Structure 1
Amino acid sequence: MSSVLTMSPLRCTVCMKQLRVNKNSIVAVFFVSLLIFANFRYNQPTRFRFSHSNVNAVCTLPELDPFDSEIMKLNWHPRPVVCDDSLPFMYIDRKGFIHLNTTTLALKKLTKLDIDCTYQHVERQGDDDVIFKPEVHFTEPEYVHCDFVVGRCRDQTDQSIYENLLINLNSHLVFESKNIRNESQQQLSVLILGIDSISRNGALRKLPKTMKYVEDVLGGITFKGYTKVGENTFPNLVPLLTGRKADPNELPHIFGQGYFDDIPLIHHNFSKSGYATLYAEDWPAFSTFNYAAKGFKVPPSDHYIRPLYLAMKKLQPISTSLDQVLLYLEDKNIKIKSSSLCFRNQLKHVMFLEYFKRFVDSYTNRAKFAFTWINEISHDYSNFLEIADQDFVEFLMWLQNDGHLENSVLVVMSDHGSRTEEIRNTVAGRIEVRMPLLSVVLPERFKQIHPALVETLIQNTKVITTPFDFHTFLSDVLHNNFDDPPPLIMRDGKLPRGISFFQKIPKERTCADAGIHELFCACFTSTPVDISNNIVPKIAQDSITKINHMLVGVKHKCAELTFSKLIDAQLIESNFKRVKEDERFTLRKPLYPTRRRKKKIPCFV
């Protein structure tokens, strides 16, 4: 027997209409996608590229106004961040024991008998995935044998009333697996707080409280000549962490190998010397060793934050994927119910700092090396960074008040300045992108024991320095190289590429000496001016008149300056030349003309 499929005319008409609707939807989605692509590809601000025309010239560091008028036009204050208002039903104390939150239970008018709470270990599965282990029903307080767990609570009807990620730091396994030495003035710990895409001047604008605390309270020493050696994060952090250039000639197979387990990270040197180690970087899709790569087969440190952020994505796959879209809307001052800078009821950078705190606390008085790097809040939208200013200050206050800086070198730093086109298309931004933040805090006792080293380090803040120098400095700290530093050894008539901050770096150092490519050299250069030129003494006198005018309000304290003798005059030039062939076409190019100021500025000594 055969069967015949029949369809009524009405049903057929409905199907045809549905097919047309689906077809139209597909066409609409295609054109919307095309418009989005065209917008991001051709409707962005033009990126003007400049290179230095003489990297072999002696470097004169540029002095820029942090509050340059062009940049301040792009500066604005974001709204206070609002996370969701859910309450924490569980927490893990600093000793690693999990508890129910009695405050939340009281607010919810519940008892411990009214709810059933569990936790699941977050377990790393390679460098791009995690799994949640079977649920554990616990009797508090119970020690948690991992760094991250998913906590859940259900009511008596088995309805979920709570789910969140909890942060711990399980140091027991590390202590069982290796001997962690004690820290001391001869064996200093190193704590690095890295913040992506922030220049020294940018930090003065967006992190004023942090910078004031670092410099005025902690006595931090900020480097005015710290310069990037690569375009983005990867080529700047690789030299810092390995002492080598991110180049196949110096690190074979660094590109295309997928995994980075074999590169000589300085973490491993500290670990072999009996240090507990931490590598913490947020924003897993764009982190330094995972963007277009596979990261690490084996965690690069004793404690590794990446599984926390992968767990966030696993719990909230859709919203996490939309974070950057929502952050874009927030940057346009469009109010979002819950900020993409949050994970549920917590700011993500606060969770990050909490993990950092737990690492420091768990290894109190023990040698430790922490390399941490915050990306998401500052990478694309620099104005959001000020949201974290007070949180950074409170973290630094905690370090100081709990005595964690007595035998530790603290570093607050970045990899480069803001790379947003609007900022780096300004004259000041063009320099700032090349000169990231670097502030070093030395223990007070160390300063008393080694005043000559401190003085040398301060002198080096006024010359050009790089991540290669920073790596050498870290090696000196690791190997306790605090005696009088040996003289610099010239090789083939050239200075070493990496010179420790504890060694006196010659003022005559050039970008070429320091391994800085012409695209990243920020130095100005100077040439002598004939002082017999009639305009030279006139400009000198005008400068003195201007200084006296600025001192009018305190003239009872300051003697009036007078012109005595002209000793020397220098012509300062930026030496930047535009590289048009590297610039891509955009529809907005005519709206962003190349801003130029006078290149030549007389400077008198």
Structure 2
Amino acid sequence: MLKERNLPLNIITKSSERNQRLKLFALYLLLFVGLVLLLLLFVNYSFPTLQNIYGLNNDFEVGAPLKTEGFVTPTSSLPPTTNASKQIWLDFCNLTDLDPWDSSIIKYIKPQKDHLLNCTRKVFEHSKLINGQLFIYSNESMNCQMRCLFSNGDRQIIYGIVNNVINGTKPECDVIEVECRLDGDNNEKEYPHYKYLHAQIYRNVSKLPPSSFPKPPEKYDVHIMILDSVSQTQFIRSLPKTIYMLRERYEAIPFEHLNKVGINSYPNGFAFLMGKMIKDIPVSPFSKGYFGDYKSKHEICKIPLDNEQFIGFRFKDDGYVTMMSEDWKNGVFMWPNCIGFKETPMDHYMKFV
């Protein structure tokens, strides 16, 4: 009679555990392969389906000329990018409302202290422009002079006549330069003791139309405020009081989803204020391609902008009094070495303030 042979318990246990691990590995592998296949199916079918829904699907052949219906007349064909697909996947925008305090970015938000808190002023403003009148406020004995500055296009300044400052003087210009020297300082080559620029919106009353003229129809005042290089979410986080005042007191409307079309302010200023692009956007799986309005940035840099479709011109044509004030002399349409406007484009043009 044969006796039943019993295997050691530890051998049976190890074999069972090994089989379970192999089964789990095979299951995970099948799940991974399945997810990859689903992702490929989603990319191949879902994006074109969404594009068809929104009328944004555009099939193109590699090397074929770009369709230009609705665009400016092209000067050349846009070459497709390397290894371009025959179908465009992402030539549409999913515009969502972004949360400025989203949990995914909260760790990157590091508010800094107010650097102006407990700041001691060392430079004082000795001159003030109050309701169109210029005054000198100083305990020092100084001799002060003033002159008007007038813009002549983007590249030139016309300097007015130099006059001594008498308290209550009414400068007849937008920008006034004040320069003061201590009594006894007659060396004009040395930098003055005090120098300041004041700005106002000067209206020549003598040139205003008589009241007997028919009253023009009422129009809304339009103010466009641009904070360069600041996203809307960063604006909400950094300047909450400012955005509250603009929205609640002035009923300001933010330009949501305004995005850039190029690097730096120059191409984006053209798109926003001229309605034109200075460079092509090439064909790729993420764009059907768009033609720029110029051959290159160098071409538009050499052309004066006085005959362009600048938004300020449209408001002037509609009877508005216009103003443009930038925070530095090299403005959006002339940086770094562009011609810009040959003639002053606005009624009040304060670039050098």
Aligned-pair Cα RMSD in Å: 3.8
- 5 Å-filtered alignment, 1:442-521, equals none
Work out the CA distance in 1 between the residues paired with 2:237 and 2:309.
36
Tell me: CA distance 1:158–1:167, structure 2 relative to 1, closer, same or farther (3 Å): same
| Corresponding position: 1:264 with 2:309 | yes
- What residue is the counterpart of 1:141 in the other structure? 168
Shift of 1:139: 3.5
Shift of 1:266: 1.7
Relative to the length of structure 1, the TM-score reads 0.35
Does the CA-based 8 Å contact 1:90-1:98 persist in structure 2? Answer: yes
The one-letter amino acid of 1:73's match is Y
Work out the CA distance in 2 between the residues paired with 1:260 and 1:216.
37
SS in 1 for 2:352: helix
SS in 1 for 2:330: helix
Work out the CA distance in 1 between the residues paired with 2:90 and 2:153.
43
| Corresponding position: 1:188 with 2:233 | no
| Corresponding position: 1:100 with 2:145 | no
Does the CA-based 8 Å contact 2:152-2:343 persist in structure 1? Answer: no
Work out the CA distance in 1 between the residues paired with 2:315 and 2:334.
20
Percentage identity across paired residues of the two chains = 23
| Corresponding position: 1:73 with 2:108 | yes
Shift of 1:146: 1.9
Does the CA-based 8 Å contact 2:304-2:342 persist in structure 1? Answer: yes
Work out the CA distance in 1 between the residues paired with 2:148 and 2:120.
25
Tell me: CA distance 1:182–1:229, structure 2 relative to 1, closer, same or farther (3 Å): farther
Larger CA Rg, structure 1 vs 2: 2
Work out the CA distance in 2 between the residues paired with 1:87 and 1:236.
37
Work out the CA distance in 1 between the residues paired with 2:210 and 2:90.
47
The one-letter amino acid of 1:144's match is P
Structure scoring higher RCO (CA < 8 A, sep ≥ 6) equals 1
- What residue is the counterpart of 1:88 in the other structure? 125
Higher helix share: 1
The one-letter amino acid of 2:229's match is S
Shift of 1:213: 3.0
The one-letter amino acid of 1:91's match is K
Aligned with 1:278 (options 320, 323, 341):
323
Aligned with 1:202 (options 228, 234, 252):
234
Tell me: CA distance 1:175–1:190, structure 2 relative to 1, closer, same or farther (3 Å): farther
Shift of 1:164: 1.8
The one-letter amino acid of 2:164's match is H
Tell me: CA distance 1:176–1:207, structure 2 relative to 1, closer, same or farther (3 Å): same
Runs (5+) with no aligned partner, structure 2: 1-87, 187-191, 280-290
Tell me: CA distance 1:182–1:74, structure 2 relative to 1, closer, same or farther (3 Å): farther
- What residue is the counterpart of 2:338 in the other structure? 293
Q: Any idea what the Cα deviations from partners look like across 1:176-232, whole Å, max 9, x if unmatched?
A: 599999776x52121111111222211221121222333445554556544444444
| Corresponding position: 1:250 with 2:284 | no
The one-letter amino acid of 1:169's match is I
Aligned with 1:122 (options 130, 149, 152):
149
Runs (5+) with no aligned partner, structure 1: 1-52, 309-605
Does the CA-based 8 Å contact 2:152-2:344 persist in structure 1? Answer: no
Shift of 1:71: 6.3
Shift of 1:141: 2.1
Does the CA-based 8 Å contact 1:116-1:153 persist in structure 2? Answer: yes
- What residue is the counterpart of 1:170 in the other structure? 202
SS in 2 for 1:241: helix
- What residue is the counterpart of 2:74 in the other structure? none
Does the CA-based 8 Å contact 2:331-2:351 persist in structure 1? Answer: no
Tell me: CA distance 1:224–1:88, structure 2 relative to 1, closer, same or farther (3 Å): closer
Does the CA-based 8 Å contact 1:124-1:130 persist in structure 2? Answer: yes
Moved more, 275-284 or 250-259: 250-259
Work out the CA distance in 2 between the residues paired with 1:249 and 1:65.
33
Q: How many residues align?
A: 245
Tell me: CA distance 1:230–1:152, structure 2 relative to 1, closer, same or farther (3 Å): closer
Work out the CA distance in 2 between the residues paired with 1:270 and 1:236.
20
The one-letter amino acid of 2:233's match is N
Q: Any idea what the Cα deviations from partners look like across 1:409-464, whole Å, max 9, x if unmatched?
A: xxxxxxxxxxxxxxxxxxxxxxxxxxxxxxxxxxxxxxxxxxxxxxxxxxxxxxxx
Work out the CA distance in 2 between the residues paired with 1:273 and 1:139.
40
Relative to the length of structure 2, the TM-score reads 0.57
| Corresponding position: 1:154 with 2:188 | no
The one-letter amino acid of 2:127's match is M
Shift of 1:301: 0.3
Does the CA-based 8 Å contact 1:153-1:162 persist in structure 2? Answer: yes
Tell me: CA distance 1:162–1:292, structure 2 relative to 1, closer, same or farther (3 Å): closer
- What residue is the counterpart of 1:241 in the other structure? 273
Does the CA-based 8 Å contact 1:260-1:295 persist in structure 2? Answer: yes
The one-letter amino acid of 1:197's match is S
The one-letter amino acid of 1:199's match is S
Work out the CA distance in 1 between the residues paired with 2:216 and 2:239.
30
Tell me: CA distance 1:135–1:227, structure 2 relative to 1, closer, same or farther (3 Å): closer
The one-letter amino acid of 1:157's match is G
Tell me: CA distance 1:224–1:174, structure 2 relative to 1, closer, same or farther (3 Å): farther
Shift of 1:269: 1.8
Q: Any idea what the Cα deviations from partners look like across 1:347-387, whole Å, max 9, x if unmatched?
A: xxxxxxxxxxxxxxxxxxxxxxxxxxxxxxxxxxxxxxxxx
Work out the CA distance in 2 between the residues paired with 1:198 and 1:125.
30
The one-letter amino acid of 1:250's match is D
Work out the CA distance in 1 between the residues paired with 2:235 and 2:305.
31
Does the CA-based 8 Å contact 1:183-1:189 persist in structure 2? Answer: no
Work out the CA distance in 2 between the residues paired with 1:273 and 1:236.
25
The one-letter amino acid of 1:205's match is R
